[in-house]
Structure 1
Amino acid sequence: MTIFNFGSINIDNFYHVSHMPAPGETLSAQEHSVGLGGKGANQSVAVTRAGSNVRHIGAVGPEGSWCVETLKEAGVGVNHVATLNVPTGHANILVDAEGENQIVLYSGANTAMTVTFIEDALKDAAAGDTLILQNETNLTTEAAKLARARAMRVIYSAAPFTAEAAKKMLPVTDMLVLNQIEAQQLTEALGVALADLEVPVVLITKGADGAVWIENGVETAQVPAFPVTPVDTTGAGDCFIGYVAAGLDQGMMPEDAMRFGAAASALKVTRFGTADAIPKRDEVDRFLQG
């Protein structure tokens, strides 16, 4: 099967700092680096490194051709990545001594796509294929509706989170991915319990406490996180989701797919970077065997 990813492509600017700046504080960075990022690009790289076939649907600006080449070199299908006359999306990321981060995003080309472009990208999709989505592009709901019309599975990561965007996606989502804070914000906004969300599967990520799979309102699987010493948590959630989506695509049971993702994200947080720091399948397999 094939996983399609309608997702963001960003240029990530990393600044390593001793601590997060206070309001009004000017802080010197100890190190600066540039890499490929964006929730969409990160998840596409994770999917392909996990061993599944992925086609990315997205856009960059004139200065973003190296991002497309990097995706291609990683094994991601890039025939449906457009170059627009809009700057490439980018993120300024602060990483402190404990590996925690703060991020400022600029959407750029990620929010300049058209429905016609998405329709063309999905014309070869078949029943049983998967579409993964995040909140860093425009037309997320429209893309999900197009996928549902083709009997595709829709996996939606409700991040960066807004309750309004998540609410619109519920009727066209097969698997909703939230972290603990997002889950609380969504249930409070809707006035319902987590088990009453009208979506077949809810996957809750809990950071160091692992993840929970809720199907038709019932918790059916739970996996712990692997204990590691983190140096950079940026992109860990995207790594997890990409590996979980690939595991499901490869026929894994939910608990096994979640463990697959937990191992990959554990390895990722021990490395600096985003897409370039996502581990390959053989590394994850060795980690699980150890």
Structure 2
Amino acid sequence: MSVFNLGSINVDNFYRVPHIPAPGETLAATEFSRGLGGKGANMSVAVARAAARAIHIGAVGADGAWCVERLTEYGVDTRHIATLAGGQTGHANIAVADDGENQIVIFGGTNQQITDAMIGGALSEAGPGDTLLIQNETNGQVAAAAMARDLGLRVVYAAAPFDAKTVSDIAEYADFLVLNEVEAQQLRAALGKDLTALGIDNVVVTMGGDGSRWLDVAGGSETHVPAVPVTPVDTTGAGDTFTGYLIAGLDRGMPMEQALRLATQAGALMVTRHGTADVIPDLKDIEDARLA
């Protein structure tokens, strides 16, 4: 089976800072680096490194050719990434504090210029048993979800960055919703609904050091998967790694709880590394780390 990922591709600019800047504060960075990122790219790399087939649907400008090359090197199928003349590849400025916390400012660029024709062309290769994964850093999510549902795909929606209207619009097509605790609180406040009242059969809430919760809405049960204790150095991309591994595990036929445990191990290992897509662990890394 395959995981089709309609997702962002960003150039990540990392700034190491002693603490997260306060409003109005000017803060000197102690280190700078640049790498491949974007929630979409991160998840595609995670899917590929978890031994599933990842097909990325997205767009870059001429300045983003190296991003596509790097995705290819990491095992992602990049045939459906368009290069848009005159467009500027999305980018993110990421401040990472010494305690591992981060602050991110994103410019969408070509991530917001994906056409329905591009999406349709990619999904014409998909069929029942395949998965569509979407986030909120591109345009076209609702159209893609509707196409995928018509084709019999599993539709997975990672609701970040949070947008209440998009959640409401996609809910009727989604089989899985993945979000963190803050996003879950924002969703309840914005829609006035409990997570079990969205019409989505499976909801996964990540809770950082407290692990994750899986709400099996259809089955009427809730399962808690504890976190793996590690010392974090950078939390950037950990949620994306978790989601990519979770979906890859399900695509490979794992039971939900097994896929959640694998995703938890991958996310835990990720926070011990500096960077985003370029440092997402593979299955051998997880095995070698022997995380509890």
TM-score, normalised to structure 1, is: 0.98
Question: What CA distance in whole angstroms lies between the structure 1 residues aligned with 2:149 and 2:198?
Answer: 19
Aligned counterpart, 1:219 = 221
Question: What CA distance in whole angstroms lies between the structure 1 residues aligned with 2:19 and 2:246?
Answer: 32
Write the letter of the residue equivalent to 2:83.
T
Aligned counterpart, 1:33 = 33
SS in structure 1 at match of 2:171: helix
Write the letter of the residue equivalent to 1:198.
G
SS in structure 2 at match of 1:172: coil
Return structure 1 stretches of 4+ with deviation > 4 angstroms. none
Question: What CA distance in whole angstroms lies between the structure 1 residues aligned with 2:90 and 2:129?
Answer: 31
Superposed counterparts of 1:177-196, under 5 Å: 177-196=178-197
Question: What CA distance in whole angstroms lies between the structure 2 residues aligned with 1:22 and 1:183?
Answer: 25
Aligned counterpart, 1:48 = 48
Aligned counterpart, 2:143 = 142
Superposed counterparts of 1:69-218, under 5 Å: 69-84=69-84, 85-216=86-217, 218=220
Write the letter of the residue equivalent to 1:117.
M
Residue 29 of structure 1 and its aligned partner are, at CA, apart by 0.5
Contact map agreement 1:176 1:199 (CA 8 A) in 2 = yes
Contact map agreement 1:60 1:87 (CA 8 A) in 2 = yes
Report the more deviating stretch, 220-229 or 6-15: 220-229
Residue 219 of structure 1 and its aligned partner are, at CA, apart by 3.2
Aligned counterpart, 1:262 = 264
Residue 288 of structure 1 and its aligned partner are, at CA, apart by 4.5
SS in structure 1 at match of 2:139: coil
Question: What CA distance in whole angstroms lies between the structure 2 residues aligned with 1:77 and 1:233?
Answer: 26
Contact map agreement 1:2 1:129 (CA 8 A) in 2 = yes
Write the letter of the residue equivalent to 2:140.
L
Aligned counterpart, 2:10 = 10
For residues 85-138 of structure 1, the C-alpha deviation after alignment (integer angstroms, 9 at most, x for no partner) is: 210000000000101000000000000011011100111101010010000000
SS in structure 2 at match of 1:59: strand
Contact map agreement 1:126 1:150 (CA 8 A) in 2 = yes
Residue 193 of structure 1 and its aligned partner are, at CA, apart by 2.1
Report the more deviating stretch, 64-73 or 187-196: 187-196
Residue 289 of structure 1 and its aligned partner are, at CA, apart by 6.7
Question: What CA distance in whole angstroms lies between the structure 2 residues aligned with 1:152 and 1:288?
Answer: 34
Residue 148 of structure 1 and its aligned partner are, at CA, apart by 0.6
For residues 179-229 of structure 1, the C-alpha deviation after alignment (integer angstroms, 9 at most, x for no partner) is: 111112112222222222211111111111111111126334221110000
Question: What CA distance in whole angstroms lies between the structure 1 residues aligned with 2:195 and 2:281?
Answer: 32
Question: What CA distance in whole angstroms lies between the structure 1 residues aligned with 2:25 and 2:258?
Answer: 45
Alpha-carbon spacing, 1:250–1:288, altered in 2? closer, same or farther (3 Å):
farther
- Matched residues, percent identical? 54
Question: What CA distance in whole angstroms lies between the structure 2 residues aligned with 1:203 and 1:22?
Answer: 31
Aligned counterpart, 1:239 = 241
SS in structure 1 at match of 2:47: helix
TM-score, normalised to structure 2, is: 0.97
Gaps of 5+ in 2: none
Report the more deviating stretch, 44-53 or 214-223: 214-223
Contact map agreement 1:222 1:255 (CA 8 A) in 2 = no
Residue 22 of structure 1 and its aligned partner are, at CA, apart by 2.0
Question: What CA distance in whole angstroms lies between the structure 2 residues aligned with 1:289 and 1:88?
Answer: 36
Gaps of 5+ in 1: none
Residue 260 of structure 1 and its aligned partner are, at CA, apart by 0.3
Contact map agreement 2:265 2:291 (CA 8 A) in 1 = no
